[in-house]
Every structure is written in C-alpha cells, then in structure tokens.
Structure 1
C-alpha cells in the first residue's frame, strides 16, 4: 500500500467494523469474508504501526488512533460518494427510504426532523411504518434503504445496536393491574413481541384476556387511555402522564427489546448517512439491569408454554 494514499476498500472495512462492532457483522454488511475484512484492517495497522481496534470477547472497540482515522475515513467516503453522484446526475439519490415500527417514530422522528434533516438538506426521508417481519421483507425486496427491526434468529448478537426497555403501562386514571383478570391492549398478530408477553404472564400465573388489538400505536393509545386496560410499550413510546407499572404492582419483569439496524448493501450516500446518524444518536449497548429476563429468540416461540392463564372471552 502506498504510504501516501489509503485504499478505499480498507477504509470501508475500518468504518464497517466500527459501526457493527465486529468483524463478522462488518463482513456480512460488505458482502465479503470475515478473513478479508480482518486482513484489510491488519494491513492498515501494520502500515501505521498502531492498533486501530481492541478485540474484546463480545465486541470490538476502536482505539484512540482508530477513532481518529475512522473520522477521516467517513469524510473520505462522503466526498467520494458525493463526487460519484454529482457526475452521474442521479437526482433520485436525494431520497432515502427508512422503515421502522411506528412505536419508535415519536422518539426517533424528532431527532430526524430537528437534527438530521437540517444537516442534510439535499436529502429527504421516505418513512414506512410496519411490523419488523414486514420491514425485513421490504428490505429483502429492495423497497427500503434502512430499517430498524427487532432482533431475529438470523441476526448475530453483535448486530444489535440498541436495547430498548419494555414497560407495562396504563392511562393516568385507571388501575387495571388490580383486576383479577388483566385486560390487555396489544399490537395485532404480526407483532413478534406479543407472544413473549403472553408467555411471561403465564409463567407468572397472572390471568389475562386480550381486550383490544391495533396495528398502530395510536390505536393502542386510544384504548389504554380509558384506564381500563394496560399494555406493553417501549419505554420511549410511553405517553407523558401515563402510569408505568412493574413488579411492585404485581406484574412480571419484561425483557429488553433488542433492535437491529438493517442497511442495504448499496453504496448510496443517503443510506450511509442516515444509518450513521441513527447509530450515533440511538445506539444503546446492553445493560445488565434492563428488563430482568432474557429475550426469547423468535425460533423458540414454538416452545412457549400454552396460554393456560388466558381467561375465556
């Protein structure tokens, strides 16, 4: 490697490892082997005579030198992409298609509107809200550039970029947790987290019945605001003034919700910029006190106990 120049592929590997926290996940994102990505980073380290990453048991973290070079690498990638788009005159590249479940729009949407958009005026976000399994299908079909989804069996642990607390909650004026049979307002059948909530209640011996379902968080809000039902929402989606419930209220602990950031393998600048912003703003590593019980992998849903405590309708 010429000492006066950096190799673009090596810089791409450097940034990917930093973003995904592992060589394996970075290789999958880049469409390369893990050995190829490791070799690219090793050559950079040999050239500079300094370590760029500390290899931990569960996650790779950048050294001070690594952080410095990663910042420059991002700038170089950005300039290269802008140059390519300018000479290609690709007007449609200004749109970036983002997908996420709508219970995260309130918390993440504000940051996108007030911090990302003003800094990226040439881009506009085309937002699609749906359940994670549908968003994954849209990514597979090339209908989205970036998507935030719950962790699936195909996602390695290092792919998780954020752990979101889940909380029991209800309106400010009701006490549905005191009822012998809990009345639940939940997302519809496509919600992958719903069976886990039912199973946790069954294991805790709390009778329950499904009183309301909705495909959108606004429908959950309307039902629960009456005070006669309770639901489970990500902590960031709980409306102001609502009562948050927990084990002290006789309700079982809930697992943290692991979120994965999916990014298309295209070299579009818009997608890379948005993904980098989301990681910077919302990355939240695992904390041992989040939740209190383990997240059950979707492949294990068939092994969940029958809903023996579900009350008859």
Structure 2
C-alpha cells in the first residue's frame, strides 16, 4: 500500500494575479504600483514570490519597460481566465440578478483600451442587462446625457466648452510628449504636431504649453482619434501629446532633453444621468473598478 502523501501545489492568489496582469499590460512596475495603491517595492516582492512559487522567471527588465518571458506569456492567459472566473463566481452569489438597459457614452480614445474588458466582465456578471454604447467626443456625450439619451458617460477633462468639475474623477494620468524612438520629427523646425481637432483637451494642453515658451510649431496632422496621432508618430511625421500609458514601441516618451515643455495631467470623469437604477449603478461600479485595476 502506497502511503506517500500527495504533493501540495501552491495556490495562485487573486491579488497577486491582478498585479501580475497589470504589469504585463502596462509594462511597468512603477505604474502598476500606483494603480494598485502599493509601493513599487511591494509590487516587486509580490512578483518575486510568484516566480519563486512557480520556479519560473516571468519578466525581463529592459531599459524603459519590462516584458514577459515565454513562461510569463503562458501564465498571463491562465491569470486572465482565473480572475474572470473569480469575478463570475463571486457575482453569482453576492450580486442580485439585474435586468434592463443601460446606455453608456465613452470617448473615442477610451473605447478600444477600456470598453472590451468592461463589457465582457459586466456581461458575465449581469447577462440580463442590455448595454448600448455611444462612442464620440466628450462634449457631444455630455449633451446626450443632458437630453436623457445616455445613462452614464465618461469624459476627458480640459475639453473646450465643458465644466471640468462635472461627475466623479475616476482616473488621472500624466499627459506627455511622444514620438517615434530614434525619429527626426522632434528635431524639425517648426515642430510638426499630430493633434486632435480644436476643442480637444490634449490639443489645448499642447498648444498652451508651446505658446508659453515661444516654441515655433505647425499642425502637420489632425485626427479625431488617438489612433490617427499614433500613425503619424510611427511614420515620424510628427510628435504628439499622449497619455503616458498609451505609449508603446516603436514610440517613446519625449521631454525636456528635446526642449519640450511639461504638460498637465490627463483626467477622466464619470457622469451619471438623471435616471439612475441598480443596473446603471452596477455598470458604473464596473467602470470605476476597471480604471482602478489599470
């Protein structure tokens, strides 16, 4: 008779997995530490213990960011599934069944990086709630909210014609200059810029900052969406004001070493319409949680 006790495998904690996923998404221990309200040292210790428990190295630290190893890429898929399953299980027992319809407004620049995850998680937790989404400019979304066409909307502060005290602040991130790594656009005079159309907060912040120091510039590329600005930067046609978290290779952050002035923070606020209900509040909570988790 075999009396050997079974080997006890380590358990993966949800809190550590959330930190691991946040680092994988942001490419930075420092940014993740701010998102999860821990010190950078505490985040590093979490990952060190995770690596020790699995016996694998999960990240490679590079000059400007960290990247996943092959083992880290494998774990990332499991981590995302485990976190989704955890949320689904908790919601099944702790959240009452909801039904109805919620209309959410969201700016173009947030729709691709935030919306898919929010809608996926919310649909698992509240499958009977229908979510309609309107993507557009912040100023247009506020108008629709006031007309009762939206129940919730996210707006970017600093847009011309909008009150920056509306709603609740849910996210703050530095707005920085960005351009192609090794590109020549930042060296040209007048300085070529890729900007959104007039009224955009990023545009106003960039032009005000350049005007303050008297730097000569020209608008070389204009587009309503950040994807257009990103394309112009990748082609080295221009530089642009960009939220720090959106910068990915082959782009890099530019700064004082290039003679560029600092920019204000980029903020996002959540606004509620007049007709609040449990379904609206549940989606609002999910949006806030998505920003908190990065």
Shared fold (TM-score, shorter chain, > 0.5): yes
- C-alpha deviation, 1:151, in angstroms: 3.3
Report the Cα distance in structure 2 between the residues aligned to 1:223 and 1:154, rounded to whole angstroms. Answer: 30
Indicate whether 1:230 and 2:230 are aligned. Answer: no
Report the Cα distance in structure 2 between the residues aligned to 1:240 and 1:268, rounded to whole angstroms. Answer: 42
SS of the counterpart of 2:104? strand
Report the Cα distance in structure 1 between the residues aligned to 2:249 and 2:282, rounded to whole angstroms. Answer: 31
Partner of residue 145 from structure 2, selected from 139, 152, 169: 139
Alignment TM-score, normalising by the size of structure 2? 0.60
Partner of residue 96 from structure 1, selected from 96, 102, 113: 102
- C-alpha deviation, 1:101, in angstroms: 1.5
Q: In 1, are the aligned partners of 2:192 and 2:219 still within 8 Å (CA)?
A: yes
Q: In 2, are the aligned partners of 1:101 and 1:131 still within 8 Å (CA)?
A: yes
Q: In 2, are the aligned partners of 1:106 and 1:237 still within 8 Å (CA)?
A: no
Q: What's the Cα RMSD here?
A: 2.8
Q: In 2, are the aligned partners of 1:163 and 1:256 still within 8 Å (CA)?
A: yes
Listed one character per residue, the Cα deviations across residues 210-242 of structure 1 (whole Å, up to 9, x for unaligned) are: 111112223222222211211112223334431
Report the Cα distance in structure 1 between the residues aligned to 2:142 and 2:289, rounded to whole angstroms. Answer: 22
- C-alpha deviation, 1:267, in angstroms: 3.0
SS of the counterpart of 2:257? helix
Q: In 2, are the aligned partners of 1:264 and 1:271 still within 8 Å (CA)?
A: no
Name stretches of at least 5 consecutive residues in structure 2 with no aligned partner: 1-91
- Partner of residue 285, structure 2: 276
- Partner of residue 171, structure 1: 180
SS of the counterpart of 2:113? helix
Q: In 2, are the aligned partners of 1:168 and 1:244 still within 8 Å (CA)?
A: yes
Structure 1 residues 224 and 206, CA, compared in 2 at 3 Å: closer, same or farther?
A: same
Q: In 2, are the aligned partners of 1:104 and 1:236 still within 8 Å (CA)?
A: no
Partner of residue 136 from structure 2, selected from 120, 125, 130: 130
Listed one character per residue, the Cα deviations across residues 51-103 of structure 1 (whole Å, up to 9, x for unaligned) are: xxxxxxxxxxxxxxxxxxxxxxxx9x964x84xx6xxxxxxx2x322212211
Name stretches of at least 5 consecutive residues in structure 1 with no aligned partner: 1-74, 86-92, 285-313
- Partner of residue 197, structure 1: 206
SS of the counterpart of 1:229? coil
